[in-house]
Amino acid sequence: MLEAGGEAKILAGFTSADVGPEAKEYNLLRADEEYRNGNVEHSIYYQVKAQFQSTDLRYLTEAAELENQRPTTEELIKSASSQEKNDYKSKKFLKNIINYLQRMEREKPPEKPTKESFEYLDFLKDAQEPSEGLTRISNICHTLPDEWCVLQLCKSFNPATTYSVFNEIIASDGAIYLTLLRHCRSPQLGPICLRFSNENLANLFREYSTLVERFRRVVTVDPLNMKGKEAKQKYWEELNAFDAFLQKLLAAFRDIISPYAFLFFGKRYHCGVVQKQIKVVNTLVDDFCLLNQWSTHQRVLLSQAAMHANRLNAGDLKLICYELSSNENEIQSVYDMLKGLASDWTQLEERQQLAGRRFPTILVVDERLDHLHWEQLVTVQEFCRVKSLHCLWRLFQHHKSNIKHGYYTTNVKQGMSVINPDADLVNSGRRLRSFFEYWLSQWQHLFETVPNEELMLKRALQADCFVYAGHGSGLQYVNGRSICRARARSVVFLFGCDSTRMLGTGLYSALYGAHDYYHGALCPSIVGTLMPALDGNMDTVSVTVLSLWLAPGDKKVMPWTHTDRMSWLKNGIIKGKEENPPTMDAQPNYHLGSLCSILSLVQQGKVEPNIYNCCIYVCRGLPAWNVAVEKMPF
């Protein structure tokens, strides 16, 4: 354990970006101490600081460029001491070096990095006090799009696992900090933090740590042994048992967070009637809180519950009231208020469809909690994940000219796919080839061919959209460092087992995922998986997502929802479910512009009903909107 006066004293003078994993432990320890002492805002500062480590800088080419920036001759001479200047004047060799460098500078003036280019690398660097750091965090959050709610999820410090390997760390007990960095009352009211800690969390972490291996044991079978009826029956029984296990695990997860799942809802879409109702809600909440002398923490929680009261059942509303107060009169007053507002919101949504839609919630997820299925807490909500507020800020800074109404807007016309490059997924390769040739005939495709690095960097990542479907994440075909040094403009889909799962590198180390390299290249959005999946199920999800988000090359094709699924799954043959299916030119409302809204449909089980097929897909980075298929409704 890090003790005050020892390592803690040394580490206190450094940023996380200077030291690395041990600094993360120190900052998590300080976050715990500050929270226990009632300094919640200071705890928030240390939580945010803990998420950005020295290993994160290896993905950022700006850091290397800044570090390698050579000073000019003028700067060299200016910074020299009196003795060095005398040496320079008396030594012809040194003069010749300076003269040569000055001549080179005149021929090719050095490019000086602008302050703006690097201001988002570590915005907490040099913060001397937690209060100063929190001010910087608040300023960053206020600069982000007004439409976003930003929630940070962080696992507490555990001295028993300070130098443990990843599997031991994620299986170990600990508290969960849920911090609302930007919420429905920002910037009027500051960030708040909740801490979840009970006896059920230890079991949840332990069971979750076994999830991937449990699934692998079930689905890893020898095809030669699966020809008999009994073997097939045993396989499906075990798969159904895994589904039941995961359902139970998710139910336990929801119970632990209950009744605070409503905090994951995002802001409602802009429209006149919504803005008017929000003013009514805020006035009711503020008057009540002022009358009863409620804290900022209580006011934010009540505001969030009031904004989404119609999405909560009577039991949840009652639980929320008991969480907010122990005074029976206040509990009843809040319950009556929320019930009334639930009715108001329901009527409003019936009159105005946009009122029921919500902007994305950005989840800043600690690497040690990234394997949890956070999207399953509120499946109707749009989500995007990032690994740190620093990562989100960097992506926002680079792409803010294309961010409209809280979405990264892109006009997808041309794209590229790399499908089954190892040519060993026979059935999957056949299915996907038929889909891409049918739906995206205008794209460039690479079927059953291993791509070289140049193709990946100069063509795939420079297209409007890039789709990989094969084993893993595709990093086996291109060096991750090469991706970081590139500048990716594509929205990226990685349809493979564990394609964006956080992985350890051995011993005690920071984790990494394929998305880290893409975000290093400033890729705006990556869709990937948290764990393995069966190829037929993943193929169904992937083509459904792509068909809803991407326009077909030929408007005369039938909507993918009208195709015969079994014919395609078994033989890769695309045909209609009925004799005369409609064509896409007669289906103007088929597509969805918001990529996260499509993933929400997947999370709800509307594409693949089994939970192990639908809960594994996540979006990382910025929420994307394809204006080529749907105009924004604002």
CB-based contacts of 295, cutoff 8 Å, min separation 6: none
CB atoms closer than 10 angstroms to residue 225: 9
Rounded (10°) angle between helices 328-351 and 314-324: 140
Q: Are residues 340 and 471 in the same domain?
A: no
- Of the candidates 403, 366, 363, the one whose C-alpha atom is nearest the C-alpha of residue 620 is 363
Q: Which helix (H) or strand (E) holds 275?
A: helix 272-291
Q: What is the pLDDT of residue 82?
A: 78
**282 in Cβ contact with 185 (< 8 Å):** yes
* Average pLDDT value for residue range 318-341: 98
Instruction: Indicate the SS3 state at residue 185.
Output: coil
| DSSP string of 446-512, one letter each residue | EES-PPPHHHIIIIITTSSEEEEESSTTSTTSS-HHHHHHS---SEEEEESTTTT--B--SSS---B
Q: Domain range spanning residue 293? A: 268-356
Residue 510 falls inside a structural domain: yes
Q: Name the CA dihedral angle for 305, 310, 313, 316, rounded to a multiple of 10 degrees.
A: 0
Residue 132 falls inside a structural domain: no
Residue 565 sits in a domain whose CATH number is 3.40.50
83, 112, 141 - which closes a domain: 112
Task: Give the separation between CA 59 and CA 481, rounded to whole angstroms.
Answer: 7
Q: What percent of the chain has pLDDT over 70?
A: 92
Tell the residue number behind the tokens 């006066």, with chain if given. Answer: 5
Q: What is the pLDDT of residue 5?
A: 46
Query: Tens digit of pLDDT for each residue in 434-471?
Result: 999 999 999 999 999 999 999 999 999 999 999 999 99
| Strand-by-strand arrangement of the 407-410 sheet | 403-404, 407-410, 624-626
Residue 90 falls inside a structural domain: yes
Rounded (10°) angle between helices 130-143 and 389-399: 40
Q: Are residues 516 and 608 in the same domain?
A: yes
Q: Are residues 286 and 410 in the same domain?
A: no
Instruction: Indicate the SS3 state at residue 179.
Output: strand
Tell the residue number behind the tokens 């490059």, with chain if given. Answer: 421
Which of 60-69, 228-237, 597-606 has the highest average model confidence (pLDDT)? 597-606
Rounded (10°) angle between helices 130-143 and 40-50: 70
Q: Are residues 319 and 416 in the same domain?
A: no
Higher confidence at residue 489 or residue 224?
Answer: 489
289, 324, 356 - which closes a domain: 356
Give the chain's mean pLDDT: 90
Number of domains observed in the structure of the chain: 3
Residue 551 falls inside a structural domain: yes
pLDDT confidence tier of residue 69, bands split at 50, 70 and 90:
low
Query: Tens digit of pLDDT for each residue in 564-588?
Result: 999 999 999 999 998 889 999 999 8
Q: What is the pLDDT of residue 94?
A: 75
Would the pLDDT of 319 be above 60? yes
* Average pLDDT value for residue range 31-57: 91
Provide the token pair at 446: 């690479």
Q: Are residues 313 and 410 in the same domain?
A: no
* Average pLDDT value for residue range 476-492: 92
Q: Are residues 565 and 499 in the same domain?
A: yes
Query: Tens digit of pLDDT for each residue in 233-276?
Result: 999 999 999 999 999 999 999 999 999 999 999 999 999 999 99
**419 in Cβ contact with 444 (< 8 Å):** no
Q: Are residues 476 and 581 in the same domain?
A: yes
pLDDT confidence tier of residue 98, bands split at 50, 70 and 90:
confident
* pTM tops 0.75, yes or no: yes
Query: Tens digit of pLDDT for each residue in 151-195?
Result: 999 999 988 777 777 778 888 999 999 999 999 999 999 999 999
Q: Which helix (H) or strand (E) holds 526?
A: strand 525-529
Q: Are residues 452 and 532 in the same domain?
A: yes
Tell the residue number behind the tokens 């997924």, with chain if given. Answer: 425
| Strand-by-strand arrangement of the 491-495 sheet | 192-196, 176-182, 149-155, 361-365, 383-386, 617-621, 525-529, 491-495, 465-469, 415-419, 444-447
E strands present in 156-210? 176-182, 192-196
Q: What is the pLDDT of residue 31?
A: 97
Task: Give the separation between CA 32 and CA 28, rounded to whole angstroms.
Answer: 6
AA letter at 251 = A
pLDDT confidence tier of residue 606, bands split at 50, 70 and 90:
very high
Residue 393 falls inside a structural domain: no
Would the pLDDT of 414 be above 80? yes
Instruction: Indicate the SS3 state at residue 108.
Output: coil
Provide the token pair at 2: 């890090």
**What are the respective helix, strand and coil percentages of the chain, to the nearest 5?**
50, 10, 35
Query: Tens digit of pLDDT for each residue in 112-155?
Result: 554 444 455 789 988 889 999 999 999 999 999 999 999 999 99
Q: What is the pLDDT of residue 79?
A: 76
Instruction: Indicate the SS3 state at residue 68.
Output: coil
Would the pLDDT of 527 be above 70? yes
As a whole number of Å, the CA-based R_g of the chain is 27
Q: Which helix (H) or strand (E) holds 151?
A: strand 149-155
54, 88, 112 - which closes a domain: 112
pLDDT confidence tier of residue 85, bands split at 50, 70 and 90:
confident
Q: Are residues 343 and 436 in the same domain?
A: no
Q: What is the pLDDT of residue 509?
A: 61
Q: What is the pLDDT of residue 16?
A: 47
Query: Tens digit of pLDDT for each residue in 99-119?
Result: 888 888 787 776 655 444 445
Q: Are residues 432 and 325 in the same domain?
A: no
Q: Which helix (H) or strand (E) holds 408?
A: strand 407-410
**113 in Cβ contact with 66 (< 8 Å):** yes
Q: What is the pLDDT of residue 70?
A: 66
Q: Are residues 333 and 444 in the same domain?
A: no
Q: What is the pLDDT of residue 176?
A: 98
Q: What is the pLDDT of residue 3?
A: 45
Task: Give the separation between CA 193 and CA 191, rounded to whole angstroms.
Answer: 7
449, with CB counted inside 10 A (0-12, 13-18, 19+), is: middle
Polymer length of the chain: 634
Provide the token pair at 53: 């480590």
Q: Are residues 320 and 443 in the same domain?
A: no
Measured CA to CA in angstroms, residue 199 lies from 176, 193, 196, 202 at distances of 12, 20, 10, 6
* Average pLDDT value for residue range 370-382: 98
Q: What is the pLDDT of residue 1?
A: 38
Residue 220 falls inside a structural domain: no
Q: What is the pLDDT of residue 57?
A: 72
Provide the token pair at 302: 């009540």
* Average pLDDT value for residue range 516-532: 96
Q: What percent of the chain has pLDDT over 90?
A: 75
Q: What is the pLDDT of residue 285?
A: 98
Would the pLDDT of 547 be above 50? yes
Number of H helices, E strands in the chain: 27, 14
Query: Tens digit of pLDDT for each residue in 274-287?
Result: 999 999 999 999 99
